[in-house]
Amino acid sequence: MNNSPAQDTLAQDFVAFAVESKVLRFGEFKTKAGRLSPYFFNAGLFDDGAKLGRLAEFYARRLVASGLQFDMLFGPAYKGITLAAAVSIELARLGQNKPFAYNRKEAKDHGEGGTLVGAPVQGRVLIIDDVISAGTSVRESIEMIKAAGATPCGVTIALDRQEKATADGQDAAESAVQQVQQHYGLPVVAIATLADLMGFLDGQSDPALVAARPAVQAYRQRYGV
């Protein structure tokens, strides 16, 4: 989904927040695909109440602005669990009380049993995660949602890296986000994208951020979609 001008402000605010929180860092980092990336986004570092609450606010505002219709949230283990819970709280605060569920990595053989926890998985289900790297988490979530008799209706993430996916060591023509959109026909709603990150860096005077921009630009030219 394309960002409107009003949403661009939201994206810029989010990138600034991620940098301030040291969740988004610049340097040299090896990705799962084996690439050396000049930036790293680690949503696990939204690790206190204030930061998690603000993150949930960004997700909720983006979702409301997107107009995407959904009945509940599904958070894939592990990061998605916290995200689903936090965003459901924020959505309720905004007057949209949505149930949420998540999965266990291993099935429980006592108590209520099974791999799904939380509200019954039914209706239009929105998958929530931090990023889409290989699409594995999304694929597994779709399978679990369908197995429960519900309908996956979209995915929401914090950051769309907008870079080519890899398969068997080869660069694909599309990003992992585009593959999810094309293969499953699901909309993907991101709070911010790599383009938004570049826009943020364009307006900076901090020497460290100014110095980071050429490397991010070069990475985008090489791997971007």
pLDDT given at position 205: 93
State pLDDT tens for residues 13-26: 999 999 999 999 99
Active site residue 183: no
State pLDDT tens for residues 45-63: 999 999 999 999 999 999 9
pLDDT given at position 63: 97
151 has a pLDDT exceeding 90: yes
- Summarize the confidence of residues 181-191 as an average pLDDT: 96
28 has a pLDDT exceeding 50: yes
pLDDT given at position 105: 77
pLDDT given at position 2: 47
Rounded Cα distance, 18 and 193, in Å: 12
**Rounded mean pLDDT of the chain?**
92
pLDDT given at position 34: 86
- Summarize the confidence of residues 93-121 as an average pLDDT: 83
215 has a pLDDT exceeding 50: yes
Q: What is the 3-state secondary structure (H, E, C) of the chain?
A: CCCCHHHHHHHHHHHHHHHHCCCEEEEEEECCCCCEEEEEECHHHCCCHHHHHHHHHHHHHHHHHHCCCCCEEEECCCHHHHHHHHHHHHHHHCCCCCCEEEEEEEEECCCCCEEEEECCCCCEEEEECCCCCCCHHHHHHHHHHHHCCCEEEEEEEEEECCEEEEECCEEEEEEHHHHHHHHHCCCEEEEEEHHHHHHHHHCCCCHHHHHHHHHHHHHHHHHEC
Question: CA 181 → CA 107, 155, 164, distances in Å?
Answer: 29, 9, 14
Active site residue 146: no
- Summarize the confidence of residues 194-209 as an average pLDDT: 94
Of 108, 146, 164, 183, which residue is the catalytic one?
108
* Comparison of pLDDT for 149 and 7, the residue scoring more: 149
Of 110, 146, 164, 183, which residue is the catalytic one?
110
pLDDT given at position 169: 76
pLDDT given at position 33: 80
pLDDT given at position 109: 56
Residue 72 banded pLDDT, cuts 50, 70, 90: very high
Residues 148/140, Cβ–Cβ less than 8 Å:
no
Residue 166 banded pLDDT, cuts 50, 70, 90: confident
Lowest mean pLDDT among 88-102, 106-120, 134-148, 159-173: 106-120
Quickly name the fold that domain 5-223 has: Rossmann fold (3.40.50)
